[in-house]
Amino acid sequence: MLGRRHCQLFSVNTFDNNIIAPLGVSWSLDPVSELEQRRAVMTSSPKVAVYSLSDLKNTTDDALPNYLTSLKVAQNHNHTDVRLLLGYLAVVVSGVTFYFDYTLGFDKTKYWTAWAVAAYFVLNGLFTWWIWRVEKGIVFQGSVKGQKLLLYSRTEKHIPIYHLTARYTSPSAPSLWQEVQLQAPFTRWFTADGFFVAKPFQQWLASEIPPIGQADPGNVVEEIGRGDGSARAMNVQPGRVEEVLDALKDASGRMAGSQGARSRRKA
Amino acid sequence: MLSALSSLQPRQLAAQVLNFALVLSTAFMLWKGLSVVTDSPSPIVVVLSGSMEPAFQRGDLLFLWNRGLDTQIGEIVVYNVRGKDIPIVHRVVRRFGGGDTPLRLLTKGDNNAADDTELYARGQSYLNRSKDVIGSVVGYIPFVGYVTILLSEYPWLKTVMLGLMGLTVVLQRE
């Protein structure tokens, strides 16, 4: 049985869309890969509708900060906080207006209601402006080892390509912003039936964006593939060699046995 | 669906709830804004009875304007009977005062045999333009208001509608 599992390990190293290392099965050959598999299992549980672009984008956008915070990148929530502040302030203004209008009647509150309506639409306008111009698709803002990092994502209507813009500084020049624009089709990290696989997504991020690559050098690879990275190395450890040889012997023994039977019959 | 909601972090959940709250509060503020502009506590009303036929049918939506304080005979006004919260839509048939003295109006439904003296509160025999009238009709859309009639006759419909709306806005992430 162990021999067969090894054979399966060798055959998973393809780039066929449908063959993916089944996650959740502990194929631990060494401790590092087990950690990565566990990380991958955590993020791959929800199944998305593969043809829904917004589902794909949202799942990817949700996975991104999860991955980065697991690398101990400090996340800055400023943009979300400002948006929530503006939004809830507007809601509070309308709530207070409703309360006073309900209890005191229209005539008494006419004057203040007029001001409240004006204030509400000003706040709403600021809120909309914040989302549209300042946020502009930001999915992550943070810093790692003195380098500031901002990530913006977008997709174009009905085209399943994930566009990511990364702006970062280097510790030696903290006011100089560099920008990298990446795109990749969602098929790189989604299986055909809609499961998100973290490993190729992490490899893509680490290989293309220098600050992330520095924080996670294990994921920087030349060619990004699917499944467990250690599978490609085919590192057969000394203890396992005997089992592989046994399996090979069994297989050849079966063939030899059938040949022997044929020769016996002849004789 | 709900499991996707539970897997959100607090900030994302707050953002989704904010979307729903903004829908409600924008609708409310638009209503209040219209109210302030027309100077009427209820700028859009629905005709509930057939007393103004053939001009207005039950279920018509009426748009009111309350800044024309010199109401003429023949204008259609909406007023609240003192002490009751039901708005009535009838036509002005007599007016007294105006200018220095407060304007007083007598109304009558086109489809009614008698004028509104019996509809007014006890002891009241005329309407005060500034206190009782909430606006005069400047436009209407036929039949659209029937939804409001349904909502008021079956109040559970309001809860159902609001609940469905809330659920769809909070759960979707388009």
Q: Are residues A153 and A228 in the same domain?
A: yes
Q: Are residues A51 and A141 in the same domain?
A: yes
Q: Which domain holds residue A227?
A: 4-76+137-236
CB contact under 8 A, B21 and A88: yes
Q: Is residue A214 part of a domain?
A: yes
CB contact under 8 A, A88 and B15: no
Please give the structure tokens belonging to residue A106.
Answer: 């229209």
Q: Is residue A174 part of a domain?
A: yes
Look at residue A11 and tell me whether its pLDDT is greater than 70. Answer: no
Q: Are residues A17 and A111 in the same domain?
A: no
CA distance B110 to B91: 7
Q: Is residue A190 part of a domain?
A: yes
Handedness of CA B27, B29, B31, B33 (dihedral sign): negative
Q: Are residues A71 and A83 in the same domain?
A: no
CA distance A162 to A56: 9
Count structural domains, chain A.
Answer: 2
Q: Give the single-character DSSP code of B116.
A: G
Strands B87-98 and A147-156 come out as unpaired
From the list A151, A127, A188, A182, the residue with the least C-alpha distance to A62 is A151
CA distance A120 to B25: 9
pTM: 0.67
Give how far A106 is from chain B: nearest CA, Å. Answer: 6
Q: Give the single-character DSSP code of B174.
A: -
Look at residue B2 and tell me whether its pLDDT is greater than 80. Answer: no
Q: Are residues A45 and A174 in the same domain?
A: yes
Confidence of residue B1 (pLDDT cuts 50, 70, 90): low
Look at residue A170 and tell me whether its pLDDT is greater than 80. Answer: yes
Beta bridge partners of B64: B137
Q: In this predicted model, what pLDDT tens digit does every residue of A219-266 receive, in sequence order?
A: 787 765 544 444 444 445 666 677 778 877 887 777 665 555 555 545
Q: Is residue A114 part of a domain?
A: yes
Q: Is residue A115 part of a domain?
A: yes
Q: Is residue A242 part of a domain?
A: no
Q: In this predicted model, what pLDDT tens digit does every residue of A202-218 receive, in sequence order?
A: 888 888 888 888 888 88
Give how far A247 is from chain B: nearest CA, Å. Answer: 45
3-state secondary structure chain A: CHHHHHHHHHHCCCCCCCCCCCCCCCCCCCHHHHHHHHHHHHHHCCECCCCCHHHHHHHHHHHHHHHHHHCCCEECCHHHHHHHHHHHHHHHHHHHHHHHHHHHCHHHHHHHHHHHHHHHHHHHHHHHHHHHHHHCCEEEEEEECCEEEEEEEEEECCEEEEEEEEEEEECCEEEEEEEEEEEEEHHHCECCCCEECHHHHHHHHHHHCHHHHHHCHHHCCCCCCCCCCHHHHCCCCHHHHHHHHHHHHHHHHHHHHHHHHHHHHHC
Q: Are residues A68 and A93 in the same domain?
A: no
Which H/E stretch holds residue B137?
strand B133-141
Look at residue A50 and tell me whether its pLDDT is greater than 90. Answer: no
Q: Are residues A69 and A142 in the same domain?
A: yes
* A130 burial via Cβ count (<10 Å: 0-12, 13-18, 19+): middle
Contacts of B21 in chain A (CB under 8 A): 87-88, 91
Q: Are residues A82 and A157 in the same domain?
A: no
Is-catalytic flag, B90?
A: yes
Q: Is residue A118 part of a domain?
A: yes
Is-catalytic flag, B51?
A: yes
B11 contacts chain A (CB < 8 A): yes
Where are chain B's structural domains?
44-146
Architecture of B44-146 per CATH?
A: Ribbon (2.10)
Q: Is residue A126 part of a domain?
A: yes
Confidence of residue B60 (pLDDT cuts 50, 70, 90): very high
Catalytically annotated residue among B40, B60, B90, B136: B90
CB contact under 8 A, B41 and A106: yes
Q: Find where tokens 């207005």 sit.
A: B56
